[in-house]
Amino acid sequence: MSTEIAYQELGLAPGASEAEVKAAWRRLVSRWHPDRNDSRAAVEKMQRINQAFELLRDVAGIGAPRQASGSGAPPASPAAPTPEEPPAAETGMPARPQVRRVRLTLEEAALGCVQILRGRSSDRCGVCSGTGRHAMPADCTACGGSGQVHQRAWYGWMASTVTCGDCEGSGRLASPCTPCDGTGKRPAHRYEVKVRIPPGVRGGDLLSVPGGGSGPAGGFELKIEWLPHPFFQLDDEGTVRCELPVDGFRWIAGQTVEVPTLEGLQPLALRRDECIYRLPGRGFPASRRGPRGDLVLIVRPVFPSSWTAEQRALLDRLIAATEGAGSDGPLVDWQRRLGTWARDTAPVRPARRGSRSKP
């Protein structure tokens, strides 16, 4: 907030006197303080009033220690701010976000999802901006606002002036903020917030979620983590791979089987001459707001390791029925070349050990 805006917030002209600033602040506080005004805008308005007064107080030196009359002592130097009295610049600082860890499945990260965050939050008091005190401190009653007190020696005829111990020489005592009882925080409350996770987030990403509703005023900072997947593997280009076994006879027959995808089970028509199937655009986004990669399915045909008598008989019938079929196929061509090689080549059998050749 600039000085010009601060004057406008208090309804004053630039260069207003100390008395005018104090009077304007008191007038606005009596109107907008949440104890007297239950409107929704009261807390926010009160926060701006306090922030404006803090700024103009520093600019105009409002509330500076006054010299004690007749003491003959020099004016007390302004005391450094105590830990309980943060600088005015801190009153306008935004609330810090609450850090949460969100664990997602690969499907949730690829397609986007809605996560429900639950917890407890204790936000900064909007009336005192988290300081726990009113913006306008009152004069110290012990020193009358001078910051100094007269101390008479034990022998009675000599007195000295020392720094007031109650206000530490500032001449002011800040009264506790009524709505928060001086804690600087609102009462803790439970929240339940729905957060939309965009598609394409990866493990290690940080998402900033603004505050609002019943959640923390500072919002959330979400750390994304991935849950391990039982069978999907992902590379950096967004390609998702999955190796899956299928019934060997279904593969031979070219039947349709259900296969896993990021959207759920989908039908896939098998082809007995292929074991690798690429589904474009069914993988993971290569980048935020970018197109999705491919889903690569690697099919492993599985056949029985043992056969019943009935299964063996069916196989024999199938083999007999397919002999000679497809005369121009690769199997027939292979058998033809194998027969030619067997006729033209006379393999030499090695002699048995211990045998002697005849003379």
At 71-116, the pLDDT tens digits run 333 333 333 333 333 333 344 456 678 889 999 999 999 999 999 9
Where are the CATH 1.10.287.110 domain residues in the chain? 1-62
Residue positions counted in the chain? 359
Q: Which pTM value belongs to this model? A: 0.55
Confidence band (pLDDT; 50, 70, 90) for 8?
Answer: confident
Higher pLDDT, 153 or 275: 275
Which three-class secondary structure state does DSSP give residue 293? coil
pLDDT at 143: 80
- Residue 211 to residue 219: CA distance in whole angstroms: 4
User: Got the DSSP string for 49-110?
Assistant: HHHHHHHHHHHHTTTPPPPPTT--PPPPPPPPPPTTS--GGGGGPPPPPEEEEEEE-HHHHH
Give the CATH number of domain 94-130+185-227.
2.60.260.20
pLDDT at 347: 59
The overall average pLDDT reported for the chain is 77
pLDDT at 353: 60
Q: Which CATH superfamily is domain 1-62 in?
A: DnaJ domain (1.10.287.110)
Tokens standing for residue 62: 């409002």
Residue 300: how many CB atoms within 10 A of its CB?
A: 11
Residue 322: pLDDT over 80: no
Where are the CATH 2.60.260.20 domain residues in the chain? 94-130+185-227, 233-302
Please report, rounded to a whole number, the percentage of residues in the chain having pLDDT higher than 70: 75
State pLDDT tens for residues 339-350. 888 887 755 555
Give the CATH number of domain 233-302.
2.60.260.20
State pLDDT tens for residues 193-229. 899 999 999 989 999 988 776 777 778 889 999 999 9
Angle, CA of 240, 246 and 247, to the nearest 5°: 175
Contact 91, 6 (CB under 8 A): no
Tokens standing for residue 103: 């664990």
